[in-house]
Amino acid sequence: MSVEHWDPAAEGPLLERALRRKLEARGYAVSRYVYPPGTRFPPHTHGIDKIDAVVSGRFRMTMGDVDAVLEAGDCLAVPRGAVHSAEVVGDEPVVSLDATRG
């Protein structure tokens, strides 16, 4: 599991529209979600490839026995069929861009 971090020197200031463009340029359809504190997603899979990207807040993602906390500008590829779970960390909602590609 490898987290991709936003690089302001190469990509400019972190803005939601810039993060969306980055994901769309890779051929993904992007949807925006806001998850309140306490939100948890139990282990599950998807039949498509996806990327979870965080605009703001902190989102713990777990795949297998490895976990990472995604923060603003972080992206995590979740391959089709990979068992993963997620939860909002802390008291701030997570604004997430959910990028999917069939």
| Domain ranges across the chain | 3-101
Alpha-helical segments (H) within the chain = 8-11, 16-25
What average pLDDT does this structure show over 49-59? 97
- pTM here? 0.93
Span 3-101: which CATH code? 2.60.120.10
CB atoms inside a 10 Å sphere around CB 40: 10
State the Cα torsion 6-97-20-64 to the nearest 10°: 50
Percent of the chain past pLDDT 70, that is, above it, reads 99
pLDDT (tens digit, 9 = 90+) per residue, 63-79?
Answer: 988 999 999 999 999 99
Q: Helix (H, G, I), strand (E, B), or coil: what is residue 54? A: strand
Question: Tell me: the pLDDT tens digits for 23-35?
Answer: 999 999 999 999 9
Q: What confidence tier does 42 reach under pLDDT thresholds 50, 70, 90?
A: very high
